[in-house]
A and B are shown apart, each in its own frame.
Chain A
Amino acid sequence: MKDNDNNSGIVQQQLLDFYKSNEAAICADDTPKVRVLRNNALQRFQDFGFPNAKMENWRNSKIINALHGNFRMPALDEKHSEAKPFSCELCDMDTEIIMLVNGVFSGETSLKKYDNGMVIGSTRTAMKARPDLFDRYFGTTMPAETNGFYDVNTALWHDGYFVYVPKNVAAERPVQVIKLIDNESNPFVQTRNLIILEDNASLQLIDCDDSFNQQSSLINAFTEIVIGDNASLDKYKLQNINDNTSLLNSNSIRQFGNSRFRSNTISFNGGMIRNNIHVALDAEGAEAQVYGLYLMDKHQHIDNYLKVNHKVPNCTSFEKFKGILDDEASAVFNGHVYVAPGAQKTNAQQNNSNIILTPKAKIDAKPFLEIYADDVKCAHGTSTGQLDQEAMFYMQQRGISKANARMLLMYAFAAEISNHIAIPAMQERIDDMIKRRLRGELSSCDNCVLRCSHPKEYHFEIDENKL
């Protein structure tokens, strides 16, 4: 891995140089707190650089290979060309839309305020417009175990999306974030997002990563999420990026008493994807349900890292990730549940199961429970297998062709995850996408799955009236 180490050193230096020459612009709108966090992160990044494959949490992960040194640092004022047809209004979805292009907020009103006090828009604008609110939450979820990707994001972030749901407010419609990378030349994008749910608030959020074209890019997104007492967040992540794009999608969630976090990460396509999900259950009664589904083929690589930290008694966490790997695709599942001393009555369940369709596809599954309390209910399991041949014959004996029997079995396997999507219209759409993906008919050129851009290129089987 020497070459990679060298290249990651080059990228490290590029990023440090970029910071030095753009410091004034990067930090222009910083609150004093943000400025301090930037400096600290920059120092750590300078000292430690990127993670390498020798580190336990990055073993078998290919994302480090994405640091090949040819990336370009995007200009800070870089936006999409206005000629591109963004026509979100046209798609008639019942959602609030936030659009990010190359990690930067794109749209007319960079911060939209609602009568009920809810605010959505650009992270940067939020920091400028509501510094008190911003400082109260920004940086408060950061996991103790940091790494170069998190540090470089904290040091260099320029923009991202911001969602604030105040106390006792239930967001009326889901918020939908569409993130596009629109570039000709290898950008390295640092996106920083902040989602705040105050006490008793509730929100459904759809967050999509899509590609505009087949150009390569490296996206390093970091999302901080604070969920207050009795608050509830459903977060759906859809990843359908091209085979030349590498994506680091990191999430750090801090949950307060009796809060509920339900997350579903569905990875349809992507050259290299690493999802990091850190959940801190900080107060009693908090519940986290973390689901994931990945359908990878060709030489694609996906790596899901989950860390759930049961800090106090009486919290529940449930993790289930399932994957289907075809061709020479590879996957890593790295799940770590930590139960702190005294965190009694913890209920933690973790499961990863995979279907491997070819001898060359590969999964490295590492479930890990670390428990320092004695009155807990914890379980973990992994399974990896081929399609059930008994079931295949059973179906064929009923007249179903081998190809359709395969599809039915794979779809049934995947649907166990998509069934957890609580927005019916979206679940229907996702199920349709899963079927098309399994039939090899879904290309990353479908772009945003909720078809909010390029309306002309779409032809969907699903009845639009249902949405």
Chain B
Amino acid sequence: MLLNIKNLHVSIGGKEILKGLNLGVNEGEIHAIMGPNGTGKSTLAAAITGREGYEITEGEIWYKGKNIVGMSPDDRANEGIFLSFQYPVEIPGVSIQNFMRTAINAKREYNGQAPIPTVDFLKMMKEKQAMVEITEKLQNRFVNVGFSGGEKKKNEIFQMAMLEPSLAILDETDSGLDIDALRIVANGVNHLHRPDNAFVVITHYQRLLDYIVPDFVHVMYDGRIVKSGGKNLALELEEKGYEWIKESNL
């Protein structure tokens, strides 16, 4: 199993947000995590990626056979975990090109490889940006600075393509996207999906799942996964809303 989360409890500032979450993800699978606001979906993403301030009070996160609780965020990233941020951060003064090169070389160093040759890097940039329909101009700009919502999300998928993670978590990548951007983002994900990697797609709406078809759909409520099923569960949620989940879990 690529990712195996067992009985995960996470608190922020003493307040428990995740209350015993279990999730298993195998290579080659796409999992969708749905659920109403405030149920801990983004907290789950933060806990897997090792964000500061998210205290794991109980439970384990196994990834590629290692319990990664306590591992630094950069080491987790270099182990192949990628998060497409719900709100990508603007970094004035750092060009996307410089940023990506630093990230790729960090990963290569982690794996005992030499830095990427410039020619290869530039070729890779060109290929991957074409995949998500990013213009070359954007690449010379500072990371996310002055980008529209759609451009920011496309840039996340572009970075994902560059870093080729084994586990990619998409945190509400569809929020604020128009239909064209949504299509581009979904195409990017489908293009990158391989038998040896996996995706966890966090979303509110079924809409994205028309494009990225999940193998499993999980519904989170109050810090736990309360229902799991196939892709039809998403359609059911779309139809019925989350109220019936809430009611059945009172």
Contacts and interface: CB of A to CB of B under 8 A. Distances in A.
Interface of A: 388-391, 393-402, 404-405, 408-409, 411-413, 415-416
16 contacts: A388-B89, A393-B52, A393-B73, A396-B72, A396-B77, A397-B82, A398-B103, A398-B163, A399-B78, A399-B103, A399-B163, A400-B102, A402-B74, A404-B106, A408-B99, A409-B91
A397 B91 contact: no
Given A394-B88, A404-B106, A399 B93 contact: no
A416 B90 CA distance: 15
Q: Tell which of B72, B89, B99, B107 has the most Cβ of chain A within 10 Å.
A: B89
B229 interface: no
A401 B77 CA distance: 10
Interface of B: 49, 51-52, 72-74, 77-78, 82-83, 85, 88-94, 98-99, 102-103, 106-107, 110, 142, 159, 163
A411 B93 contact: yes
Contact of A400 (B49, B51, B85, B103): B103
A389 B93 CA distance: 16
Nearest to A403: B74
Contacts of A415: 93
Given A394-B91, A412-B94, 14 more contacts: A388-B91, A393-B73, A395-B91, A397-B82, A399-B77, A399-B103, A401-B72, A401-B74, A402-B74, A404-B106, A405-B74, A409-B93, A409-B94, A411-B93
Contacts of A405: 74
A396 B93 contact: no
Given A393-B51, A398-B77, A398-B159, A408 B94 contact: yes
A368 B72 CA distance: 44
Contacts of A401: 72, 74, 106
Contacts of A404: 102, 106
Contacts of A397: 49, 73-74, 77, 82-83, 85
A405 B94 CA distance: 11
B106 A399 contact: yes
B140 to A, nearest CB: 13
A179 to B, nearest CB: 31
A396 B49 CA distance: 10
A402 B89 CA distance: 16
A400 B91 contact: no
